[in-house]
Amino acid sequence: MIKPHGSDELNPLFVYDSAENDALQKEAEDLASIVVSSATAANAVMLGAGYFNPLTGYMNKADALSVAREMKTTSGLFWPTPVLNLVHDAGNIKAGDRIALKDPNVEDNPVLAVMDVEAIEEFTDDEMAMMSKEIYRAREGEVHPGVEAFNAQGKVCLSGPIKVLNFSYFLTEFPDTFRTAVEIRNEIKERGWNKVVAFQTRNPMHLAHEELCHMAMDRLGCDGLVIHMLLGKLKKGDIPAPVRDAAIRKMVELYFPPNSAMVTGYGFDMLYAGPKEAVLHAVFRQNMGATHFIVGRDHAGVGDHYGAFDAQEIFDKEVPAGAMEIEIFRADHTAWSKKLNKVVMMSEAPDHSKEDFVLLSGTKVREMLAQGIAPPKEFSRPEVAQILIDHYKNQS
């Protein structure tokens, strides 16, 4: 099986020993505490679940700046984006303290993790601007939701190792879908899969997505597919996770052979960081046991901020050879060809014009679904469309 990133064994930071977990929960009652940002909480969940192996906690200032500029920590570990605990004010907390990190996304802010604070440092405005530019490729004066969320957390950086005590709301709200990297690795082994491709989604899967997964599996000779959906914070207008989950499960049930696809999810907030986020996605897919990862057109993008294939080209131009073991499956837009009566990758149909494909904008699809109209069968499976129509009907 493929090795985790940066180590021979996966080292999740969740405290699985119940006696130790209980003891830490009790200790946390008397510790100084902070209610962390949603992004910091999501980082804790990813650290706890093993997705951010081999990190042991939140990065310090030097590591964060090095990762932003060069995609490696000061010790030389390849890592694409800073993993931070940012606050506006650390209050009376000082280096050497053990503190409780409280969950901002769950009622009454339960303790999510305990942290041994090694350093408290502040980024300058110029350093925050540099990180925004390097991580998000942000242009000056441009409104970018990822940059806004990053800068809204504060400039004070608390670094040090953590022990994670729960998985926030992900395990309770998505018990059938949320899986740790440890659990996915175990299930891949149980299924007897060796070559595994992962597909990232934050949207329902229409026919083109489904066929892209079949293409990747066939061309790579994969034993299995892991559909791995984001369960964390999205931007306004995105389809809620439970609806996506239901739609994707219906698609797999009806249109994938038995024991060929797993439907899973992970607890993270979307960064909308385009190329850098695509690399991060690849790192944590390696940690969960995937040997291949589909990177599509404008992967992890927002609006028209990134070039169509920037998220693929970064693997060739900026990721050092040997930095990761996972391999990338490069995908273009897929769509139904009226000429060939099947879904094809548009770049592989040079004799086609735009009119030869069944193409619908996201806005048009949402309008149709809101009106109770199913998109054509060449665009969406009718069973999937019905789940989405029911969702929009309940919104009105």
> For position 234, what pLDDT does the model report?
61
Give the pLDDT score at 282. 98
Active-site residue set:
202-203
Residue 119 lies in a domain: yes
Q: What is the pLDDT of residues 214-253, one digit of tens each?
A: 999 999 999 999 999 998 766 666 788 888 899 999 999 9
Rounded to the nearest 10°, the torsion over CA 222, 279, 272, 298 is -60
- Does one domain contain both 181 and 86? no
Same domain, 141 and 190: no
pLDDT of residue 396: 65
Q: pLDDT tens, 194-214?
A: 999 999 998 889 999 999 999
**Same domain as 140, residue 34:** yes
The structure's pTM equals: 0.94
CATH code: domain of residue 315: 3.40.50.620
Of 105, 136, 168, the position where a domain reaches its end is: 168
Residue 187 reports pLDDT greater than 70: yes
Residues 87 and 192 in one domain: no
Closest to 88 in 3D by CA, of 144, 40, 23: 40
- 158 and 115 in contact (C-beta within 8 Å)? yes
pLDDT tens, position by position, 259-289: 999 999 999 988 999 999 999 999 999 999 9
Residue 249, domain member (yes or no) = yes
How confident is the model over 167-189, as a mean pLDDT? 95
Do 154 and 221 lie in one domain? The reply is: no
Closest C-alpha to 200, from 222, 169, 223, 232: 232
Of 34, 271, 225, the C-alpha closest to 132 is 271
Determine the longest span between alpha carbons in the chain, in angstroms: 69
Is 239 part of any domain? yes
**Which CATH number do you get for residue 132?**
3.10.400.10
Pair (89, 136) in one structural domain:
yes
Q: What percent of the chain has pLDDT over 90?
A: 85
Give the tens place of pLDDT for each residue, 18-66.
Answer: 999 999 999 999 999 999 999 999 999 999 999 999 999 999 999 999 9
Shared domain check, 362 and 310 = yes
Which is nearest to 228 in space by CA: 281, 275, 276?
Answer: 281
C-alpha dihedral sign at 380, 386, 391, 394 = positive
Contact assessment for residue 157 and residue 120, using Cβ atoms and an 8 Å cutoff: yes
Over residues 325-329, the mean pLDDT reads: 97
Phi/psi at 268 (5° precision): -155, 155
pLDDT for 233 equals 65
Question: Token pair for residue 240?
Answer: 């809620």
378 pLDDT band, cuts 50/70/90, is very high
Encoded tokens for 302: 């927002």
Closest alpha carbon to 336 in 214, 213, 206: 206
Tell me, yes or no, whether 5 lies in a domain: no
Q: What is the pLDDT of residue 393?
A: 87
Q: Judge if 70 and 192 occupy the same domain.
A: no
Whether 231 and 206 share a structural domain? yes
Closest CA to 165 of 10, 12, 11, 15: 15
Question: Averaged over 106-123, what is the pLDDT?
Answer: 98
374 in the same domain as 237? yes
| CB-CB neighbours of 310 under 10 Å | 20
Domain tally, the chain: 2
Domain that holds residue 315: 175-266+272-395
Buried b (16+ CB within 10 A) or exposed e, 336-357: bbeeeeebbbbeebeebeeebb
Instruction: Enter the tokens of residue 86.
Output: 């940012």
Q: Which of 148, 168, 188 is the last residue of a domain?
A: 168
Tell me how far CA of residue 258 lies from CA of 33, 262, 383, 386, in angstroms: 47, 10, 18, 23
Do 97 and 140 fall into the same domain? yes
Give the CA distances from residue 156 to residues 65, 111, 112, in Å, rounded to whole numbers and listed in that order.
14, 21, 20
Say if residue 206 is in the same domain as residue 321.
Answer: yes
Residue 246 lies in a domain: yes
Sequence-ordered list of residues with C-beta below 8 angstroms from that of 270, at least 6 positions apart, any chain: 146, 202, 230, 232, 233, 234, 235, 300
* The last residue of a domain, from among 115, 148, 168: 168
